[in-house]
Structure 1
């Protein structure tokens, strides 16, 4: 699987990613990858403390919680009440609205999430917009079989994961109060209408 088919500059912006590795494996190893990045950041205008790195040009409002293994890149903005955990990387120029929760995810440049979003175990491309209240679910709480499968080129692929959210291609638009099932794969310039439930494997 070539991630650059979904996110054009992914290997340029994230050179530490193993090529040909599927997104669910990348996300499952994200905390380890971020730990390896911290020693390289202090010389690049990041303030690093307790496994949290914030670029000097980023704005983090009062009331934001950043758990260990979080990297906030240049010119990012995070509004009050947001909560980051289990490894989060905002590459650059990302805007996160008030009271969002982001877990174990990468968000690439010029993307934004409005207030009250949940983004779980996901890889989000460049210039993606998530309207208020959209949910990127990462776990099948309601199923006995919790293994996540994805639909790729018309084929169902086993991820062998019980936690994986979405891969969202560049320039996509996710409508307010929509829900993306675990394992959702969206190509570049996808549009999800407001209030839509995306379930690619029935």
Structure 2
């Protein structure tokens, strides 16, 4: 069993049930955000399913689709595309042209330009260099169920859409690819152009 608090120090501020597995959190993210919407204060500007903190900056041509919460001092760069449900913490930077889909991004994290983060949980103080990708789906496999490699064992998720769990203070290099089901501990370093692969389930 993965304890998300071992990867993200303040995860309990998002959800107190740390026994939930990462893919369970992501698969039910819209429900969690719907509950959070009802507790947001006057510091947020709410329009439909979108809640943006008054101190956040949303640059030109940003597309916000679905349920989204963006926290204080967040900057969402020009031409970014957020496909909810998406939760963004405090002091987060989403670079120009980046896409975030059905994900959680915690505080002080920077996502450079032209990145893709899909169905992932991203911790605090993380830096994604330009062009890096958290892939969320195995297009090339016959059996598309995603498995993760954790403590030397393959664990089935029962999901065909799950990206990565990235621990606090990690660094992801330019044009690196995190394969679906990637689990990175705190202070992990992924080199530029590196591929983090996961073991396939049998009969893939």
TM-score range, shorter chain: over 0.9
Q: Which residue of 2 aligns with 1:175?
A: 173
What is the deviation of 1:44?
4.0
User: TM-score, normalising length from structure 2?
Assistant: 0.95
Question: Counterparts of 2:53 and 2:74 in 1: how far apart (Å)?
Answer: 8
- Give the superposed CA RMSD: 1.0
User: TM-score, normalising length from structure 1?
Assistant: 0.96
Question: What stretches of structure 2 of length at least 5 have no aligned partner?
Answer: none
Q: Which residue of 1 aligns with 2:7?
A: 6
Q: Verify the 8 A CA contact 2:64 2:84 in the aligned structure 1.
A: no
Match of residue 105, structure 2, among 107, 130, 155: 107
What is the deviation of 1:86?
2.8
| Equivalent residues, number | 199
CA distance 1:30–1:17, change in 2 (3 Å)? farther
Question: Counterparts of 1:177 and 1:5 in 2: how far apart (Å)?
Answer: 27
CA deviation map 1:66-89 (0-9, x unaligned): 112100001100100000013011
Matched residue SS, 1:40: coil
The correspondence of residues 1-202 of structure 1 with structure 2, limited to 5 A, is 1-12=2-13, 14=14, 16-41=15-40, 43-201=41-199
Question: Counterparts of 2:165 and 2:154 in 1: how far apart (Å)?
Answer: 15
Question: What stretches of structure 1 of length at least 5 have no aligned partner?
Answer: none
